[in-house]
Structure 1
Amino acid sequence: MPSTSAPSGSLHASTRFRAPTYVRNVIERERLLDALGEGGGRALVVIHAPAGYGKTTLAVQWLRVLADGGAVPAWLGLHRDDNDPHWFLFHLLEAVRRAVPAAGDVLGDLRDLLEQNVEDTQTYALSVLLEQIGRHDGRLVLTFDDWHLIEDAQVHRALVHLLDFAPPNLSVVLTSRVRPRLPLSRLRVRGQLIEIDADTLRFDLAETRSFLVDLNGLRLEPEDIARVSVSTDGWVAALQLVSLSLRDCADPTDLIGGFSGRDHSIGEYLAENVLDALPGDILAFLLDTCVGDRLCGELADALSGRTDGQAMLEELERRDLFLRPLDPERQWFRYHHLFADYLRRRLERDQRDRVAGLHRRAAQWFAAHDLVSEAVSHALAAGDVAMATDLVERHAMAQVEHSRMVSLLGLIGRLPAAAVSERPRLLMALAWANCLLQRSTAAELALEDLRRVLPPAPEQQDMHSEADVVQACIDIYGDRIDRAEGLVALSLQRRDVYRPWVVAVAANIQSFCDIHSMRFETALARQRWAARIHQRTVGPFAAVYGRCFAGIAAFAQLDLPAAQGHLAGAVELARTSAGRRSHAAQLASALLGELLYELGEIDQAERLLEESRELGAESGVVDFMIASYAVLARIRANRGAAVDAAELLAEGVKVAERLALPRLHAAVASERIRQLLLARRIAEARRVAEAMPDGSSTEGGLGITIDQIRTGALAAVMSAEGDRDGAVALLDELIDDLQRRGQFRARLAAAVQRVVVLEQAAHRMAAERALADLLGQVVATGLRRTVLDGGPDIVTVLDRLLAQAGTRAWARAHPDVPRDWLAALVAQAGDDPETPSSGLTARELDILRMVGSGRTNQQIATSLTVTVNTVKWYLKNIYTKLGATNRTEATAIARREGLPV
C-alpha cells in the first residue's frame, strides 16, 4: 500500500522543506545572533512580528550559525493546508526525514501509515518521530516558518507534544506574525525559551545605515538616514522599499520628506512609488504572476503568456523586487508575503476581470504536472467548482488504490458538498475511502448518495456492482456475511469486465465468507485463482488480505506449513510494499503471531502481536482483533502479568460492545474465563460466561462459531463447578460438530479441553487414552501450546503418559509419538515461565542486564527489535517483581540477590 501523497517529480522541488536561499540585499543581524548565541541550546526560539520584519531572514541566519557548529537543520515552510493534522504530520515527518537520512525508512513508513488512519496514528507518529530524533547523533534544529497560518487546535497540541517530550538534542525555531498560542510562560520558567518580538527585530540606526549605505550603496546624509530610521520605525520591508525608491532619485531628501510611518501607510506609498517606476512589461509580469504562492519559469510562462519566465524571475531577483529563491537551484521562487499581498490588491483593483482567468491558468498548469492539491486550490480561487471537482474525481480512485484515503478525503472536503453529491465516480471513491478506513456510517452515506444519482440503467451495471462490493466490504468489517456473497457474485462472474481492484476485493470478501461458512478448501482455491488478479492491482492491500485469508483457512485445517507460508508472505509483502508500520503489516503480523504462539515460538509471537497493537487493535476483520486481544493476553498471563492480561481482555470486550462484534466478545470472554478458572475464581468465571453473546443474533457460520466458543466456555465453567458429566456431554457434542464441519484446529483444542475435564472427574485412564490419541496429531502439526495451555491437569496426564512411553505396548500403540518428543514436551510443561528466586522471565532478565550496563530504553528497544513502549512495559513488571521504583534500585536489588545481571 504505498501512499506517498506529496507531489513528486522535479517540478515539485520540495520547496517547503528547504530554508530560503538569501544572498542579496541582506545584512547579518549580528546583534540578534549574539543574543541567540547567549541563549545556548534552548528548546524553543520564537521569532514573532508583523509581516516585513525579517523573521524568516533571522531564522535562516541562525540556522547557518548552528549548522556551522555541527547541528542539522530541518525546515518546514507552513501552508494553510497544514491546518489539517494529517498534512501537518505528513510534512513534519518529511522535513525530518530529509534532514536525518538514517531515519528515512522509519519515517517513510509513518507517512504511509498516516494515509491509512490518521485518528489512531497521530500520537504514535509523534512518539516514533521523537524516538528517531533522539537516536540521531547530534543536534537537530526543527524550524517552522509562518506558524501564524496554523489555527487548528490538534496541530497546536502536536507541537506542544513535541516540546514537552523533546529529547535533549532537539531544538525548535518558530516564526510567526503573531505571538503563538503555546505554553510559552511554562517554557520560559524552565529556561527553555528565547523570544524575539517586533521591537527586538527593528533595525536600529546603525543597522539602518549599514543596510542603506553599505549594502545598497545609497549616498545619504546622516540626517537623511536618521529621518528614514525614524519614519520607518526600523521596519525592514519599508527600508527595502526605501532603497528601491532612492536608487534613481534625483532628490533623496525631498522623497524622504514625503512619507511618514503612520499605520504602515509608508508601505503602500513606497510600493506605489516603486511599481510606478518600473518598465511596463515588468509591472505586467508582476501582476500576472502574483496569484501563486510559488513560481517557477514554466508556471510564470503559463500565467504571463511569455516564453522567458525564468529569465524574468531572475531579473526580478536581481532588482531586489522582493522575490526570493526557494531552492539552491533557483528553480522555485516566491514573492515576499507583504509584496505579494500588495500586488494582489492592486491586481484586484485595476484588473479584477483577469483574476479568475489567472487562477484558472495556474490550475491547469499544476494539474498538467500532477500537483493536484495546488491545482484544486487555484480552481476554487477561480470560482470554477466544476474544474476543481473534475480534478479530484480524475485522481480519486488512484488515491484509493494506493491507500491514500486520508489525502483523498482532505481533497474532497475542500469541495462544496453539492458538487460532490452529483458525481457518481467521486461518491464511489468517497465510499471506498471511508470503508477502508472503517468509517462505516460515512461509507454507507456515500453509497446512499451514489445510488440516488446513479440511474438503474444497464450501462450503469458496473457501477452498481462496484457499489455492492463496497457494501460487502463494510459488512465483513462489521463481521457480517449474511448478504456479502450475493453482493460480490456479479463482480466475480464478470471478472474480465471489472477493474482488477474491484475483482480482487470481491474475491477476498468471498474467501472470508467461505472461511466462516467452513468451506476452507473453497477459500484456498479462491485465493489460488485470485493470485493473478492480485498481481494486477495497484498497491498490496488486496494481496495482503488475500494471503491472510488463505492463512486462516489453512490454519483451520491444521495445514501449518501452508498457513505459515501464507501469513509470513503477507507480512513480508506488507512490510516491503507498504512499510513495516503499515496498517497491512500490523494486521498480518497479528495472525502470524497467533500461529507462532501455537507453535511454541513465544518470544517472536509476542513481538509480532505487540507490533500489531502499537496503533490499537480496532481495525481489520475480527480475526485480527481476536489475535491482538486474546492471544496476547494469554502470553501476558503465562508470563505472570495477570493484571495486564485482564486489562487487555477488558479492553477487547469494550471494543466488541462498542462496535457490535459478538464474535470478538465471545472469543475474548472465553480467554477471560480460562484465566479466571486457572486462578480458581469460579464464581466470576460463571458471571462472565452468562454475559457471553450467543449466535442467535448472527446469521450463518459466524453465528455457529459464536455458539461453539460459548459452548466450550460453558463446559469449562461447569467442570470447575463440579458438573463434569455435563461438561463432557457438551464437549462431545462440540467435538462432533467441529469434526463434521472440518474445523480441525478448533476440534483439537476442544479435545484437549475434554482431557482436562476427564482428569478433573478422576477418570484417569480415559484421560490418558484421550490425550495419547491426540498426541500423534500434535507431533505432526507442532501445536504444542494447544496441549500445554490445558494447564496443570494436562501436565499431570502427560507425566503419566511419559512413564508408559518406554514400554513396547506404547511403541506399538503410538509409534508416531516418540518417547524423546514426549519427554521434551513434559520438560517444557514443567518449565516455570518465571524463575523461582526473582519471578523474572528470561526476557526481563535480558532487559535488566542491559539496564545494568547503562543502555537507554531506546537502545534496549533497538537491540530487542521492539518499541520503547514495550520496553517500558517490561520495566514496569521488573520494578513490581523486585520491589523497585527505578532503574538504579532494580539493578542494585538484582545484584544483591545474585541474579545474573
Structure 2
Amino acid sequence: MHRPRLVDAMEAAAPGQLSLVSAPAGYGKTLLLAEWAHQHTDATAWVSLDADDNDDRRFWSAVLSALTSCAAVPEDSAVRRLAVPGRPSRDPAFLAAVVNAVDLLPARVHLILDDVHELTAPDPLHGLADLVRDRPTALHLVLAGRSDPRLPLSRMRLNGEVCETRAAALRFSMREADEMLAGTDVVLRPDQLRLLVAQTDGWAAGLRLAALSLREADDTDRFLTDFAGNSRAISDYLVDEIITRLPSGTLEVLRAVSVCDPLSAPLAVTLTGRPDAGEVLDRLEHDTSLLLSAGEGRTWYRLHPLLRSHLLADLRRRRPDLVPDLHRRAADWYDGQGHPVPAIGHARQAGDSDRVTQLLRRNAVSLIADGAYRVLRETLDGLGGRFLAQDPWLALLAALVDVETGALAAADAHLDCADSVWPAEPRPELTALRVLVHARRVSLTGDPVEMVQVTEDLGAASGEHHGLAVIGELDRALALLTADRPAEAQAVAEAATQRARLWAQPYLVARGLTVLAAVESVRGNYRRMVALAEEADEVVPGADWETTAGAVMSSILRAYGALLRAEPAACLDLLGPALGFGDAPDDAPLDAVEPTARGLRGAALVDLGRVTDGLDELRRARTRTVDHPRMAATSAFLASLEYPAATLAGHREVARTVADWVEDSLGPTGDVVLLRAQRLTAMGRHSGAAEALRPLLDGTLRAFVPWAVLEAWVLDCRLAVLTGRREHARASLNRALEWSEATDVLRPLACGPTEVADLLTSLLGSFDTREPIARRVLRARLALSADETRVGLTGRERAVLDLLPSQRSFGEIASELAVSPTTVKTHVRALYSKLGASSRREAVDQARHRGLLFPGPS
C-alpha cells in the first residue's frame, strides 16, 4: 500500500536529525521504510538486525557492508577500506575513522538500521550511541524498532535532533483500512469497517489478520462483535510476537490492569499491590508503545484493545477467582475518587449487588443530573426485581429512567412498586424524587392544565438537590409552553439552564437548550431553534444523550427545521430517535412526541412524492391530537401540513374534515384564516380568498404556526397572478422572500404553486439583496422535483450494477468491463452505500425494488 502521509513524515527530517520509527510488532514499520527508501534507492544503505548482531564485529561488518553496497559511496571512498578490529565499539580510533570516512562522502547517505530493538549487548549499543552522538552531516541515520533504543532521546528531543514516527501515526485510517481490505476481496459496510478499525485501533497486522479471517467467516457482524476472541490468528500473533517477549513481572502487571480501561498509575498500584506499577506502565509506554498515555496531564493509560482483550481472557482462564476481586478493588478506587459511573460498572462486573446498591444510593442524584440514564438502566436491570420490590428509592429511580426513555408502562409499574413499600416517614430526598417522577410522567401524557399544576412546586420540593431542582424547573418550563405561555416558559428555562451551567451539569444544560429551542419554534425563530437544538447535541454527545427525552425533543426540532428548509430526506433521517421513543410493546404512543413526529414524517413523505403514505401518517397524527388534546399550536401545525397535502392529492373530503376540525379546535385564528383562503382558492373564488387573507397579512389575527404568514404571502402572490395583478404579485413575492430569508423557511415557496415559481424564475436577477434567497428557493424546488427513486449512480456504477445479478465473480466482471478487480470492488462498495445494502443479494433486491433493474432471477 502507498501511504504518502507517512512518506512525507519521513521526508520531513531536517539535515542532522536522527529519524526514529518506533512501534510494536505489526505496525508496518519495515514496509514504510521500504516505501520511503524506494525514493532514495541509490543513497540508501539498509541493515536488518537480528540477535546475532549483538556480536560487535558482526554488527559493524553489517553496517560497513551496507554502506559499501550503496551506489552513493564512491569506489575510492575511505569507507570501502575500513577494517573491523577485534572490539570495534570500544576502539575510539575505529569509530573516529568511520565518522571521518562517511563525512567525506560527496552526497548524503541514508543508513537504515531496522529492528534496532534486537541490539541488547553493551558493546554494539555503546558503538551505536557513539555513532549517533558524533554522526557526520553526510549521514542520515534511521533507526526502527519495537522499542526505543537506549539513547539519550529526551535530551535529543529537547535539542530538536529527532524526527519521530510512532504507533499513533502508523495506525491505519478508515480510508487506508478500506483500501487494504479491498486488496483481499473483503467488502465491509461503513459501520462494519468503523467497528473493525476501532477494535484493532488501526493496527496493520490486526487488520491484515482480520481480513484473512473474514474471508472464511459466515456471519461478518457476529465475527466482529468479538473479533479478538473469534480470530485464532490474532491470538497466536499476540502471543508469538508480543506477549512471550515481555518479562514475567511486567506480564503479571498487564494481566491485572486489563480489567480497567483506561487506567492510571495509582489505580494500577491498587490493582496489582505493587508500588512500582506506575513505573512499569511508564516504561512500557516509552519502550514499546503497547500503552499510550492520554487525558489531561497524560496521567491515564490505554492498552491496545486487542492486547487488552487477550490479556483479560488469559486472566480469566488462569485466575478466575482473581477477576471479581480486581473489579472490587477498581470499584472502591473509583468511588474514592468521586467517579460513580466506573465504580458502579466495576461493582457490577464483580457481581457484588450490595456494593452496587450502596453506590446507587450515594450517587443516584448526581447520575440523574449527569444524564447517566443508560448506566442507571443497565444497573437497575442487573439488580433485578427483588431489589427494586424492597426499596422505594430504587423503584423510583427505575421509574424515572423509564419515563426519560419513554417506557411508560414500566414506569407505572415501578411507581406502584414504590408506593407499595413507601415508608411512614420518608426522607426529604425520597419525597422530592417521587414528586419529580410523577411530574415527568404527567409531562408525557397529561393535559396542559394538569402539567402546570403538578410542576408548580417542583423546584421547592427538590430542596438542596440542585440537579433535581433544575430538572423540575425545566419540566415547569415545558408545562408553561404546552399551555401557550411561551414568555414565562422562556424565563424559567433560561434561569434553569443558567443554574445548570453554574453547577457544571452539561446534561441539564443540554436539556435546557432543547426547551429554549422549543420556545423559539413557537415564536417562529426557526434558525435560532435549530442552532439551540444542535448546541444541545454537541454539549452531551453519545449514547447517554441519544436515548433520552431531551435528545428526542432535539431531533424533532432539528427535523422541523429541515422540513421548513425544504430538506425532507434530512427531516426523515433526523426523526429516528423520536419515532423510536417509547416503542415498547406495552406502551401507548406518547402524546408529547408521537403526533408531532408523525406529522413531520408525513409532511416529509409528501414532499418526497409519497403522498399516500404521507397522508396516512398525517391522519394518524391528527387522530392522536383529537383523542388527546394538548396544545393549540400542535393542532394548528398538523392542520397546516395535512390540509394542503390532502388538497394536492384530490382528497377534498379529507381536506374539509381537517379544516372543520381545526376551526372547531382553535376558533378564529390566523391558521384557520389561511386554510379558509386555501379552500376558497381551490373553489375558484379568488377575490374571496384574497379578502380572507387580509387579517393574517396585516397582523390583525395571530397564527399559532408563525410560518403561516409566509404561506399567506405565497398564496396572495398566486391569487394576484391568477387575477392579472402582476405588480401586486411581485410585491407579495418580495414579502414572501423577506420572510423566507429572515426565518430560514423555504418550504412554502419551494413546494408552492407553479404560478409563484414561474414568476420567481422570470424575475431572477432583479431581487437585489434578496437574489441569494430567491436562487436558494429555486434550487430547493429543483431538488424536490427529482425522482425519489433516483440513486445518483455514475456510469461505471450503473455498468457494475447491471452485472451484479449474474453469477460472475468480481474478477469476471472486471474482465468484462476492462477494469481492475479493485476498481470493481470500489464500485460495489459505493453501490452498497447508495442502496443501503450489506451484501450482493441485498443490493440486487434493493435495486429491483427501486426500479433500477428489471425483475428476474438472482
Cα pair distance change 1:461/1:763, threshold 3 Å: farther
Question: For residues 268 and 535 of structure 2, what CA distance do their matches in structure 1 show?
Answer: 49
Q: Tell whether 2:512 aligns with 1:450.
A: no
Corresponding letter in the other structure for 2:455: V
Aligned partner of 1:430 in structure 2 is: 398
Distance 1:168 1:421 in 2: 39
| 1:459-515 deviation per Cα after TM superposition (whole angstroms, max 9, x unaligned) | 8445434322222222222364322233233233577x4323222222222222232
**Structure 1 gaps, min length 5:** 1-98, 105-125, 145-158, 177-192, 195-292, 311-325, 345-357, 697-702, 807-816, 890-901
Deviation of 1:134 after TM superposition, in Å, equals 7.6
Q: Is the 8 A contact 2:760 2:774 kept in 1?
A: no
Shift of 1:718: 6.8
| Aligned residue in 1 for 2:55 | none
Q: 1:705 to 1:464 in 2, by over 3 A?
A: farther
Mapped pair 1:796 → 2:755: yes
Contact kept, 8 Å, 1:575 with 1:581, in 2: the verdict is: no
Q: Work out the CA distance in 1 between the residues paired with 2:845 and 2:638.
A: 25
1:299/1:835 CA distance change after superposition, 3 Å: closer
Which residue of 2 is the match for residue 825 of structure 1? 774
Relative to structure 1, the CA distance from residue 582 to residue 518 in structure 2 (aligned partners, 3 Å threshold; closer, same or farther) is closer
Q: What letter matches 1:500 in structure 2? A: H
Whole-angstrom distance in 2 between the partners of 1:409 and 1:827: 46
Q: Secondary structure at the match of 2:409?
A: helix
Distance 1:388 1:661, change over 3 A: same
Matched, 1:467 2:434: yes
Residue pair 2:324, 2:351 contacting (<8 A) in 1 also? yes
Return the alpha-carbon distance in structure 2 between the equivalents of residues 102 and 778 of structure 1: 45
Moved more, 541-550 or 757-766: 757-766
Please tell me whether residue 132 in structure 1 is matched to residue 194 in structure 2.
yes
| Residue of structure 2 in register with 1:519 after alignment | 485
State the AA in 2 paired with 1:674. P
Structure 1 residues 714 and 417, CA gap change in structure 2 (3 angstroms): farther
> How many Å apart are 1:790 and its aligned residue?
6.6
**Cα distance change, pair 391–850 in 1 and its aligned pair in 2 (3 A):** same
Aligned to 1:551: 517
Measured after TM superposition, the shift of residue 675 of structure 1 is 2.1
Change (3 A) 1:547 1:667: same
User: What do residues 787-809 of structure 1 show as CA deviations (whole Å, max 9, x unaligned)?
Assistant: 416732xx535767999999xxx
* Cα separation, partners in 2 of 1:612 and 1:772, compared to 1, 3 Å: closer
Match of 1:440 in 2: 408
Match of 1:492 in 2: 459
* Contact 1:857/1:868, CA 8 A, preserved across alignment: no
Higher relative contact order (CA 8 A, sep 6+): 1
In 2, Cα distance between the equivalents of 1:679 and 1:655? 22
Alignment partner of 1:791: what SS? coil
User: Is 1:785 matched with 2:755?
Assistant: no
Aligned residue in 1 for 2:358 = 390
Is residue 372 from structure 1 mapped to residue 351 from structure 2 by the alignment? Answer: no
2:603 pairs with 1:613: no
Change (3 A) 1:737 1:541: farther
The corresponding residue for 1:250 is: none
Match of 1:405 among 365, 373, 398: 373
The whole-number CA distance in structure 2 between the counterparts of 1:576 and 1:361 is: 28
State whether residues 347 and 355 of structure 2, in contact with CA within 8 Å, keep that contact through their aligned partners in structure 1.
no
For the Cα contact (< 8 Å) 2:404–2:548, is it kept in 1? no
What CA distance in whole angstroms lies between the structure 2 residues aligned with 1:524 and 1:718? 38
Kept after mapping to 1: 8 A contact 2:267/2:333: no
Shift of 1:616: 3.7
Match of 1:675 in 2: 645
Asked whether the 8 Å contact 1:759–1:767 carries over to 2, the reply is: yes
* SS of alignment partner, residue 680 of structure 1: coil
Deviations 1:585-613 (A, max 9, x none): 66524423422543x4x45x743641442
Deviation string for 1:73-121 (max 9, x for gaps)? xxxxxxxxxxxxxxxxxxxxxxxxxx998679xxxxxxxxxxxxxxxxx
Alpha-carbon distance in 2 for matches of 1:411, 1:584: 21
CA–CA distance in 2 between the matches of 1:169 and 1:756?
Answer: 58
What is the number of residues matched between the two proteins? 586
Q: Once the 2 structures are TM-superposed, how far is the Cα of residue 426 of structure 1 from its aligned partner? A: 1.9
Structure 2 counterpart of 1:699: none
Deviating more after overlay: 672-681 vs 132-141: 132-141
- SS for the counterpart of 1:502 is helix
Given that residues 428 and 450 in structure 1 are in contact (C-alpha distance below 8 angstroms), is that contact kept between their aligned partners in structure 2? Answer: yes
Name the aligned partner's letter for residue 487 of structure 1.
V
Q: Using a 3 Å threshold, how does the CA distance of structure 1 residues 827 and 752 change in structure 2: closer, same or farther? A: same
How many angstroms does 1:532 deviate by? Answer: 2.3
For residues 440 and 708 of structure 1, what CA distance do their matches in structure 2 show? 36
Determine what percentage of the aligned residue pairs are the same residue: 13
Give me the TM-score of the superposition, normalised by structure 1: 0.48
**Structure 1 position 571 matched with structure 2 position 537:** yes
**What is residue 14 of structure 2 aligned with on the other side?**
none
Distance in 2, matches of 1:505 and 1:139, equals 50
Give the superposition deviation at 1:859: 4.8
Structure 2-normalised TM-score?
A: 0.51
Residue identity opposite 2:706 in structure 1:
R
Question: 2:469 is paired with a residue of what secondary structure?
Answer: helix
Task: Identify unmatched segments of 5+ residues in structure 2.
Answer: 1-169, 176-187, 234-258, 278-305, 336-342, 583-588, 800-822
- Structure 1 distance, partners of 2:359, 2:678, is 60
Say if 1:878 and 1:416 are closer, same or farther in 2 by CA, change over 3 A. closer
- Counterpart CA distance in 2 for 1:722 and 1:658 is 34
**Aligned partner letter, 1:431:** A
Do residues 530 (structure 1) and 496 (structure 2) align? yes
Q: CA offset at residue 441 of structure 1?
A: 2.4
CA–CA distance in structure 2, aligned partners of residues 596 and 514 of structure 1: 26
State the shift of 1:748 in Å.
Answer: 1.3
Deviation at 1:767, TM superposition (A): 8.0
Deviation, 1:434, is 1.0
1:452 to 1:760, Cα distance in 2 relative to 1, 3 A: farther
How far is the alpha carbon of 1:874 from its aligned partner?
A: 12
Query: In 2, distance between residues paired with 1:441 and 1:461?
Result: 26
Report deviation, 1:437: 1.1
Asked if 1 retains the 8 angstrom alpha-carbon contact of 2:764 and 2:774, the reply is no
Taking a change above 3 Å as real, the CA distance of residues 775 and 721 of structure 1, as seen in their structure-2 partners, is closer
1:638 aligns with 607
Deviations 1:494-549 (A, max 9, x none): 77x43232222222222222323333333333333223222256764332232122
Tell whether the 8 Å contact from 1:590 to 1:628 is kept in structure 2 after alignment. Answer: yes
RMSD over aligned CA atoms reads 6.9
Distance 1:570 1:638 in 2: 28
What code does the residue aligned with 2:433 have?
A: E
CA gap of 1:409–1:709, structure 2 versus 1, over 3 A, is farther
- SS state of the match for residue 745, structure 1? coil
Q: CA-to-partner distance for each residue in 1:153-195, whole Å, 9 max, x for gaps?
A: xxxxxx9xx955659999979789xxxxxxxxxxxxxxxx99x
In the alignment, the residues of structure 2 paired with residue 546 and residue 756 of structure 1 have an alpha-carbon distance, to the nearest angstrom, of 40
Counterparts of 1:737 and 1:463, CA distance in 2: 54
Partner of 1:482: 449
Q: 1:755 aligns with which of 716, 721, 729?
A: 716
Report the AA paired with residue 529 of structure 1. Answer: A
Compared with structure 1, are the counterparts of its residues 128 and 307 closer, same or farther at alpha carbon in structure 2 (3 Å cutoff)? closer
State the alpha-carbon separation in 2 of the partners of residues 413 and 820 from structure 1: 59
CA distance in 2, matches of 1:462, 1:741: 44
Contact 2:848/2:855 (<8 A) preserved: yes
What's the counterpart of residue 819 of structure 2? Answer: none
Q: Against the structure 1 CA distance between its residues 521 and 655, is the aligned structure 2 distance closer, same or farther, given a 3 Å change threshold?
A: closer
